[in-house]
Structure 1
C-alpha cells in the first residue's frame, strides 16, 4: 500500500482509506465487519474513516472493536461531527456544545483518547463560524484531535473559514476536505479543488465507485444482482437506486474494454482514477466482504496513463456532472445523465 501526505500537512495516510458508511452497523456487523477491517489491515490500509452519525454510533463502536489491541500510533483514525445524532435540538450542528459532546462520545465508542482527523461533516448556517472554529481549535489544544477537516463544504464556506482562522489567530487550520468524487460526479473541480490546492488542503474523497455503479455489476435492463447493496435492506438500496438508469449503465459497460486494456477490474479502474486526480490525497472505500477490500486496495498500485484517462472521459462525456452548485448534495440530485442519450 502506498502512502502520501494529506494536503501539505505532515500527516501521512494510506492512499486507499477504509470507511464504514452504510456498512458497519447497517448492512455489515459482527464477524463480517471485523473480517473487512482485518482485510484492510492485511492490505496495508492503516487509515480509517467513520462518523458519529454512521448507524447512530454503531459504526464507530464496531471499528473500535476491530482495531482493539492494534498499536494506536500505527493507525490514522478520522471521524466527523454535525449531522443529527439524536432527537434534541443540540444533537446536531457545529455548536460548541455539540462538537465537544460528540467528540467525547466518538472517543468512547472508538476506544481511543484522540482522533487523528476530525471533520465538520457539513456546514452549519445556524452557528457562528467563529464559535465552530474556536471549539475545534480547543480540541486540538486539548490533545483530543490532531488535525481538522471538513466534508462537503462549498468553496465559499471553506474560504470563509480560512479567513476567520487567520483573523482569530488560531493555531490549527483545515488540512482535509472530504467530498463525493468519482468519474461521474466532479462538482468539486470548478471551485472547491482549485481553492483547496492553493490552501494546501488535500482531498479525501468518498464514493469512488458511485455507489457501486462504476464497478460494472449493475447491468442495464436487469434487476440488481443478488447480494449487491441495491438488492439489500437498510438505507443503502435507497441511495443506490436513485442513481441507477439504463442510459448510465449502458455507458458504464463501455468502460469494461478500457479496464481490460489496463489489466484491472472496473472497480480498480474507478478507484485508481480518483487517485490520479490532482489534489486527491486518498480515496475512501467501503466494503461488505473482505474480497472487496482486497480488490479495491489493489487500485493504489494501478498506473493510468494520459491516453487511458482521456479514453474514460470520451466514454462518459456528457454524463459527467461538474456543476459546482451541487456541492454538498448527493449524486442523485438531477444528475447530468438524466435525459442524456445512450449513444
Structure 2
C-alpha cells in the first residue's frame, strides 16, 4: 500500500487507515474479528491504525492494546489516538493541560505502549486558552509520550490559528494533521478546512469516507435489519445521510461502479483517498471480509471524467466569501 507523508513531517502513513470506533462496542462485537481485521490490514501494507479514548469509553484502545504484539508487532503499525472529549461530565470538551495529560497516560496504559505515533486534539475547546492546549502538545512530544501531534474536527480558522501559533516560535511542535469527516455526501471541509490545510501543508485524515456506510449502496432499497441504520446505537449516526440528496449521489456512485466493473464502495473510497490534501482515508469495518472489500480500492484509479462527474453531482453549496 502506498505510504504518504503527513503534512511537512517525515512521518509517513498508509493512504488507507484502519478505524476502530466500533471495537469493543455492542453485543455483536467479536475480538477475533478485530484481530482478523488487524492482520488483514497490515498484510495489505496498511500502517495507520486510528482510535480514541472515547471509543467505547476506552474499550477500543483496550482491545487494540491486547492485540498488539500478540497478533501484529507494535513496530509494524502507526498508532493514532485522540483526547479532549469527555463523556460523563457536564463539560463535554476539555483540552486543559491536566485533562489532556491524564487522558493520554490512560490511553497509553490501555494501549500497552509507552508512546503513540500521532496524538490528536479530538475537538476544539473554547473554554481552555489555546496557548495552554498547544503547550500540552509540546510537552507530550518532549516527554516521549507522542511522536507527532494533530487536530481533529477543527474548523478552518481554528486549524490556521493553531498551526500559525506553533510555527511562530522555534521549538514548538508542528501540527501535522487534521482528522475530519470527508466523503461524497459530506464535503463541508471544502469550504474552509481543506483550503487551510492545503495552504499550511497540514495533512488531512478523512474519517467516514464512505458516508457512514451509505456510499456502499447497502441502503439503496431499504434498511437491512443487520445494518447500522437499523440499530438503536448507530441509527442516528447514519440517518442524516439517508435523504433524497444523498440517495442521488449514491446512484451516481453506483452508475460509475457499474461502468468500471468495481463496487460502489471502491469508487467512493477512491474518490476521497485521491482528493488533493488527503493523506489517508480512515475506514472502519464490521469484520475482515468487509475490510477486504475496502482494501480492494487500493487497486482502483478513477478516470478524470468520472471524478469530475461525481464532484459535480455532490458539489457542496458555496457562496460568500468562498466564491467571492
Quote the Cα distance in structure 2 between the aligned partners of 1:271 and 1:198.
Answer: 24
Aligned-residue RMSD, C-alpha: 2.1
**1:264 aligned to 258, 262, 265, which one?**
262
**Which residue does the alignment assign to 1:335?**
none
**2:89 aligned to 58, 69, 87, which one?**
87
Aligned partner of residue 219 in structure 1, secondary structure: coil
TM-score with structure 2 length normalisation? 0.92
**Which residue does the alignment assign to 2:5?**
5
Larger deviation, residues 185-194 vs 133-142:
185-194
Q: Which has the higher contact order (CA 8 A, sep 6+)?
A: 1
Quote the Cα distance in structure 2 between the aligned partners of 1:249 and 1:293.
Answer: 23
Contact 1:50 1:79 in 2 (8 A): yes
Deviation of residue 114 (structure 1)? Answer: 0.3
Quote the Cα distance in structure 1 between the aligned partners of 2:319 and 2:55.
Answer: 27
Deviation of residue 137 (structure 1)? Answer: 0.4
Contact 1:3 1:15 in 2 (8 A): yes
**Which residue does the alignment assign to 1:20?**
20
**Cα-to-partner distance string for 1:40-82 (whole Å, 9 max, x where unaligned):** 2232222100000011000111111122333322210000011
Aligned partner of residue 79 in structure 1, secondary structure: strand
**Is residue 301 of structure 2 the alignment partner of residue 303 of structure 1?**
yes
Quote the Cα distance in structure 2 between the aligned partners of 1:23 and 1:60.
Answer: 8
Contact 1:186 1:322 in 2 (8 A): no
| Mapping of residues 228-247 of structure 1, within 5 Å | 228-234=227-233, 236-247=234-245
**Which residue does the alignment assign to 1:276?**
274
Point out where structure 1 has 5 or more consecutive residues left out of the alignment. 326-343
Deviation of residue 242 (structure 1)? Answer: 2.7
Contact 2:6 2:279 in 1 (8 A): yes
Deviation of residue 251 (structure 1)? Answer: 4.3
**Is residue 246 of structure 2 the alignment partner of residue 248 of structure 1?**
yes
Deviation of residue 156 (structure 1)? Answer: 1.0
Contact 2:134 2:166 in 1 (8 A): yes
Quote the Cα distance in structure 1 between the aligned partners of 2:294 and 2:6.
Answer: 20
Quote the Cα distance in structure 2 between the aligned partners of 1:187 and 1:250.
Answer: 18
**Which residue does the alignment assign to 1:333?**
none
**Which residue does the alignment assign to 1:340?**
none
Give the direction of change, closer, same or farther, for the CA distance of 1:323–1:47 in structure 2 (3 Å limit). Answer: farther
Contact 1:187 1:323 in 2 (8 A): no
Give the direction of change, closer, same or farther, for the CA distance of 1:38–1:313 in structure 2 (3 Å limit). Answer: same
Deviation of residue 232 (structure 1)? Answer: 2.7
Quote the Cα distance in structure 1 between the aligned partners of 2:42 and 2:259.
Answer: 29
Deviation of residue 38 (structure 1)? Answer: 2.2
Contact 1:13 1:47 in 2 (8 A): yes
Deviation of residue 255 (structure 1)? Answer: 2.3
Aligned residues: 319
Contact 2:208 2:282 in 1 (8 A): yes
Quote the Cα distance in structure 1 between the aligned partners of 2:238 and 2:123.
Answer: 21
Quote the Cα distance in structure 2 between the aligned partners of 1:261 and 1:302.
Answer: 13
**Is residue 40 of structure 2 the alignment partner of residue 42 of structure 1?**
no
**2:288 aligned to 283, 287, 290, which one?**
290
Larger deviation, residues 209-218 vs 16-25:
16-25
**Which residue does the alignment assign to 2:143?**
142
**Which residue does the alignment assign to 1:219?**
220
Contact 1:29 1:62 in 2 (8 A): no
Quote the Cα distance in structure 2 between the aligned partners of 1:66 and 1:86.
Answer: 27
Give the direction of change, closer, same or farther, for the CA distance of 1:164–1:254 in structure 2 (3 Å limit). Answer: closer
Larger deviation, residues 17-26 vs 247-256:
247-256
Contact 2:23 2:59 in 1 (8 A): no
**Cα-to-partner distance string for 1:86-108 (whole Å, 9 max, x where unaligned):** 4375x851100011000000001
TM-score with structure 1 length normalisation? 0.87
Quote the Cα distance in structure 2 between the aligned partners of 1:247 and 1:280.
Answer: 24
